[in-house]
Amino acid sequence: MSTSVVHDHQHPPHQRSDETRSAKHRRSFAGHLGSGLITGLSLGVAARGFMRLLTDEPEFTWSGTIFIIGLFVVFGLVQGLVAAIRTRTTRRWITVPARLIGGLSYLMLGGGPGVLMVPFLWFGALALWQTTWRCWQRATLATLAAANMVGFIGLTLSEEGFDRLLEPRVIAGFAIFAATYAGAVWSAGPTLSPRSTVAEVPVEAIRSIPTPATGGPSPRDLTHPGRAQR
């Protein structure tokens, strides 16, 4: 009995609550980074796959594979980092630079011929994640993104012949290509969503809420305002 009393004095409830919250923050931070890593790795593998399918003479090199997958992994980690930051704080001097870095990470996916797909990434991500914008604005951006995708595929086929669309390998390549860039658009939520829906309220703010124990109103007083005045 005495041991439990000493333990409670050494670790007051609010201190244990802070320790629990800190542990949750660490797990949340690691979870967002892990999610970003898995997403980036998956997109990188898919990107390497469609490149091999759409190339007439595919050549496998470890250096090229590692470079391509590495770009997507870094992109995913950046998005995970932005998600972790926006989950933990709403301070604009922290979240705005983080979101800017997250937006610039899109440029890494536009190397070489992929630079023609940067408009698709930006238009598509804004159309998907800017939920506070008007419907016609988002629809316009989505249309521009779709036109960019179709135009890129058409330009690629115009150089090599539209009859390539009859080849199953090419069809599969373009399907994976579209899915990869759609996945990159979906991954931009932490950066382009208007607000973090999981940002936590500071502990100090919760403690400052008046309760019946500290002289604040009880639930019955709130439902019957006249009782609180008497």
pLDDT in tens, 27-53: 678 889 999 999 999 999 999 999 888
Which tens digits make up the pLDDT trace of 48-75? Answer: 999 888 887 767 788 888 999 999 999 9
Helix (H) / strand (E) element for 96: namely helix 92-104
Give Cα 3 distance to the centre of its chain. 47
Q: Collect all residues with Cβ–Cβ distance below 8 Å to 76 and sequence separation of at least 6.
A: 36, 37, 38, 39, 40, 41, 43, 187
Identify the residue with better confidence: 160 or 119.
Answer: 119
User: Is pLDDT at 220 greater than 70 in this prediction?
Assistant: no
pLDDT of residue 141: 96
Q: pTM of the full predicted structure?
A: 0.71
Which segment of 14-23, 28-37, 130-139, 151-160 scores lowest on mean pLDDT?
A: 14-23
Q: What is the rounded average pLDDT for all residues in the chain? A: 79
User: pLDDT higher for 190 or 1?
Assistant: 190
What residue has token string 């991954």?
A: 187
Write down the pLDDT at residue 69.
Answer: 93
Q: Across residues 81-105, what is the average pLDDT?
A: 89
Q: Name the pLDDT band for 185 (thresholds 50, 70, 90).
A: very high
Report pLDDT for 198. 42
Kindly report the number of other CB atoms within 10 A of residue 174's CB atom.
19
- In sequence order, the 6+-apart residues with CB closer than 8 A to the CB of 172 are 53
In the chain, domain spans: 10-202
Distance (Å, rounded) from C-alpha 213 to C-alpha 137? 51
